[in-house]
Chain A
Amino acid sequence: MSNDFVVLKGIVKRYKDITAVNDFDINVSKGEFFSLLGPSGCGKTTTLRLIAGLDCLSGGSISIDGRLVSDPTFFIPPEKREIGIVFQDYALFPHMTVFENVAFGLYGQKKNQVKNRVNELLFLTGLNGMDKKYPHELSGGQRQRVALARSLAPAPKVMLLDEPFSNLDAELRESLRNETKQILKKSDTTVILVTHDQEEAFSLSDKVGVLNEGKLEQVGTPYEVYHNPSSRFVADFVGKADFVAAITEGDYVVSKVGRFQNNKNYCLNVSNVELMIRPDDVTIEADSNGEAIIEDMLFLGSDVLYKLRLADNITIHSIGLSAFPLAKGTRVNVSIHMPHTVFFPVSE
């Protein structure tokens, strides 16, 4: 029961000759933080608009809290769906103060009630004392929090976040991300976030759905999506990955970089596969007789990304700590430990 608070069933959205959303199901439980992750044009924003009621469905159905809100013949308008939304550009009302912005969705309630609720939210979002300011007097981070407070005010059943952090600089983005997560957890709201940033999706969400060209590729916890991607696209899009030619041999997958247990229990008819290797599965050790050589090294701050050339011209990457980086040209021993053996049939 708690697993189907927001239910998207076989949803389809077609514009003239483009199918933006192509027939998939998503279930989001109550209180869950769900992210729709994908490259631009994958249909994630369209999905969000369909849930919000800013677009009509061409097929399938959407229900929220057990109530059908949209199918091709039935449509509850957005203002009646009890959904909050934070847009990428925040869309604050420029002619209203922070107080008036937050109070906008509390229309029809008693003055005292409105005042208490607004103050409560301003406190929650750390905006106390800002109530008389106008949006143009606020910083980017403050605006984002006003947008959050404003959509939380009517206590919506579902909060939709449309890339709400993309207009902020890197440092602010990270702190605000954590803050937002805390605020939303405290208010126990079901959240659906749309983003193209996997780090954002992973750090915030309980579950992630990866979209590509209108199709849902995978739904799972961040761990599952990262370590056990269900398609070549997910493996590629989420994090860095190298693919090495391999063949299946009974319970094993054999490649030039090693032999791994087929714990995914694929019953593949094909024997030619590509084995996915994540840089964090690969550890290296300097050894003058090592089988690999560091071809290139990318300093990333806390980490270092090594590009390794193995025998037979196979290239894989490895990530290591940056305190004592190994120099380019160093010979190394490579060991690969993978929690899951992930491989895909060779694409034609």
Chain B
Amino acid sequence: MIRLFQKLPLSFFDKDKRPYGLLSILMFAAVGLTLLPAIVVASSLFEPSFEVWAHLWDTILPQMLLNTFTLLISVSVGTLVIGTTLAWLVTAYEFPGKKTFKWLLVLPMAIPAYVMGFLYMSMFDFAGPFQTFFRNTVGWQGTFPQIRSGFGAIVVMTLVLYPYVYMLAKAGFEGQSASAFEAAKVLGASKLKTFFKVALPLARPSIAAGVALAAMETLADFATVRYFNFPTVADGILRVWHGLMDLGAASEMAGMLAFFSLLVLLSEQRLRSGKAYHQTKGKNQGVPPIFLSGSKGLIASFICGTVFFAAFGLPVLQLLYWAILEISEITPHALAVYGRLAFRSLSVSAIAAFFTVFVALFIASISRLGTGKFSRYLAKASTVGYSIPGAVIGVGILIPLSALDRYIINIAGNLWGIDLGLIFTGSLIGLVYAYVVRFMAIAYGSVDSSMDKIPPNTVLAARMLGANAFRIIFKIKLPLILPGIIAGAVLVFVDVMKELPITVVLRPMSYDTLAIWVWQMAAESLWTDTALPALAIVLVGILPVWILMRKSKND
């Protein structure tokens, strides 16, 4: 023991003499656990049960595959067009209200698709206020396009997910050097040509990343498509699991969905690479915005305003309307239910955020002790969960954990004759584990980049001033990375609160959260019952938008 303490200051800092054994094992264990669900699902693909496949193929599978593919392509194109257009408008032009729209246009991200979905359905369905108004007041006799369809799902998903493309495209445009545009102008290129030949290619990597994020979310969603009766593979996983209780079949469908997200990742890589664009160094203040006067300016404002109204204003107004109805006749019982939901959502999100950031901090720190690139790759591997749809992670965790639970029950029953119950799948352990895997990338990214920003000499300077490892960690390192830790925790907290597929698959029996409640009530068309929980989710969802806004203002 004394030996250990004597060696600690040296071994902790000195790359040659670090206690690699234990830390390496812990590192491999942490990364291994984050990869486990993906491995479980992938391995189920290698031993397909042909009966299951034959059955699926004869029944729902072809339709689901077609739907998934249609939705994926349409939402990608839709978010690409809307997100890029809006981003170009607010960076390249000056028009009334532009500064405000710049931020308002991010807000729709705060509304989860499964909330937006039922709001649009309630408003535009046959019995909704929109059609009723046209039938009764205007006297319209014709038919409206069926909202409960693939079309409805595409519209809703596009409206919810375009902010990903918008934000990244905006960053891409803003980072471009003004000189490239001036050069194009001097060479006599028209505005349209400048956009397609200069701005768009330069921003292509950012835009590709944005579309890929939107596509991933599209694949992960199961609730929205279910409202609109447009079943996709993600929906299929849950149907097979809940309906047939067939974990094997669910896992094979999960493998299929994972294959889709791999496809998205690969096409993103393809779109990003091929040509490498290096921005010339210097001041990259982006394009000098052109002032749009008179009617042109108003048209620009109108376009931004319309998208914002459709994607945020209208649904939030509808939610507020129901919320007021609900509050006006709230019962103590309902209040207690809401309280319970809120407490569960907040506490499970906080627990998940804590563990995710803790593991991210651990992995990021340990990977820095290594000298080679291997430890960095290993750390990066732990973030793979973000590109795996929630339902896939859910199934990938459910399979090993329920096996473990059965094993423990058998052992305990045989040896001591007691029933320990479902330790992992019956408690929050499995659920939190899944959240950690799914959102590790967010926490890791935040923590890692804040660690990167610590100048290495700062730590050396502290050492030279006689500080021991303990003081360096608590007085220098932690205070410097604290903003990154907090930002990471908040982002994970919000995402966990919104996350539906993982919660649906792994929650303990009758464990309702706000998200679960909203989804269940919406599926039953009990609109006013959804209003307050949904509003709470949206409000919490605004938090990261606000953080992003502040961050970009500081930079």
Contacts and interface: CB of A to CB of B under 8 A. Distances in A.
A84 interface: yes
Contacts of A151: 461, 464-465
Given A75-B10, A91-B461, A94-B480, A105 B466 contact: yes
A94 B455 CA distance: 10
Interface in B422-458: 455, 457-458
A93 interface: yes
A91 B460 contact: yes
A79 B463 contact: yes
A105 B458 CA distance: 13
Interface in A91-120: 91-95, 104-105, 107
Contacts of B465: 79, 84, 104-105, 150-151, 153-154
A78 interface: yes
Interface in A76-97: 77-80, 82-85, 87-89, 91-95
A85 B461 contact: yes
A286 to B, nearest CB: 48
B151 to A, nearest CB: 53
Chain B interface size, as a band, is: 20 to 34
A56 interface: yes
Contacts of A105: 465-467
B10 A87 contact: no
Contacts of A84: 464-465
B479 A95 contact: yes
Contacts of B132: none
Contact of A54 (B10, B455, B460, B467): B460
Given A56-B16, A79-B9, A93 B464 contact: no
Contact of A107 (B10, B13, B455, B471): B471
B466 A91 contact: no
Interface in B1-50: 9-10, 13-14, 16
- What's the dominant secondary structure at chain B's contact region? helix
B467 A79 contact: yes
A225 to B, nearest CB: 29
A77 B458 contact: no
Interface in B135-174: none
B455 A79 contact: no
B480 A78 contact: no
A104 B480 contact: no
Contacts of A56: 14, 16
Contacts of B458: 91-94
A89 B463 contact: no
A52 B480 contact: no
Interface in A29-86: 52, 54, 56, 75, 77-80, 82-85
A269 B547 CA distance: 77
B408 interface: no
A202 B13 CA distance: 36
Contacts of B463: 54, 77-79
A89 B460 contact: no
B19 to A, nearest CB: 16
B122 interface: no
B9 A77 contact: yes
A105 B475 CA distance: 12
Nearest to B467: A79
B468 interface: yes
Task: Tell which of A77, A79, A89 has the most Cβ of chain B within 10 Å.
Answer: A79
Contacts of B455: 89, 91
Contacts, number: 71
B543 interface: no
Contacts of A95: 479-480
Contacts of B320: none
Nearest to A82: B466
A180 B118 CA distance: 71
A153 B465 CA distance: 9
Interface string A213-239: 000000000000000000000000000
B464 A52 contact: yes
A52 B480 CA distance: 24
A82 B475 CA distance: 20
Contacts of B14: 56, 75, 77
Contacts of A83: 464
A75 to B, nearest CB: 7
A75 B6 CA distance: 13
Contacts of B471: 107
Given A77-B10, A87-B461, A107 B16 contact: no
Contact of A154 (B461, B462, B466): B466
Interface in B296-350: none
B467 A104 contact: yes
A153 B466 CA distance: 11
Contacts of B189: none
Interface string B71-82: 000000000000
B466 to A, nearest CB: 5
Given A91-B455, A94-B480, A79 B466 contact: yes
A82 B479 CA distance: 25
B476 interface: yes
A254 B513 CA distance: 97
A21 B281 CA distance: 35
A52 B13 CA distance: 14
Contacts of B464: 52, 78-79, 83-85, 151
A83 B467 CA distance: 12
B467 A107 contact: yes
Interface centre among B9, B457, B475, B479 (most CB of A within 10 A): B457
Interface in A183-204: none
Interface string A293-320: 0000000000000000000000000000
Interface in B397-411: none
Contacts of A82: 466
B457 A87 contact: yes
A52 B466 CA distance: 12
Interface in A153-182: 153-154
Contacts of B13: 77
Contacts of A75: 10, 14
B537 to A, nearest CB: 35
A167 B467 CA distance: 26
B464 to A, nearest CB: 5
B23 to A, nearest CB: 19
A92 B475 CA distance: 13
Given A79-B9, A79-B468, A87 B462 contact: no
A153 B462 CA distance: 13
Contacts of A92: 458, 461
A332 B9 CA distance: 68
A94 B483 CA distance: 13
Nearest to A84: B464
A80 B465 CA distance: 9
B482 to A, nearest CB: 9
Given A79-B468, A107-B467, A87 B460 contact: yes
Given A78-B464, A84-B465, 19 more contacts: A52-B460, A54-B460, A56-B16, A75-B14, A78-B463, A79-B9, A79-B463, A79-B466, A85-B464, A88-B457, A91-B455, A91-B457, A93-B458, A93-B462, A94-B458, A104-B462, A105-B466, A151-B465, A154-B465
Interface of B: 9-10, 13-14, 16, 455, 457-458, 460-468, 471, 475-476, 479-480
Interface of A: 52, 54, 56, 75, 77-80, 82-85, 87-89, 91-95, 104-105, 107, 150-151, 153-154
29 contacts: A52-B460, A52-B464, A54-B460, A75-B10, A75-B14, A77-B10, A77-B13, A77-B14, A78-B464, A79-B463, A79-B467, A84-B464, A87-B461, A88-B457, A91-B455, A91-B461, A93-B461, A93-B462, A94-B458, A95-B480, A104-B467, A105-B465, A107-B466, A150-B461, A150-B465, A151-B461, A153-B465, A154-B465, A154-B466
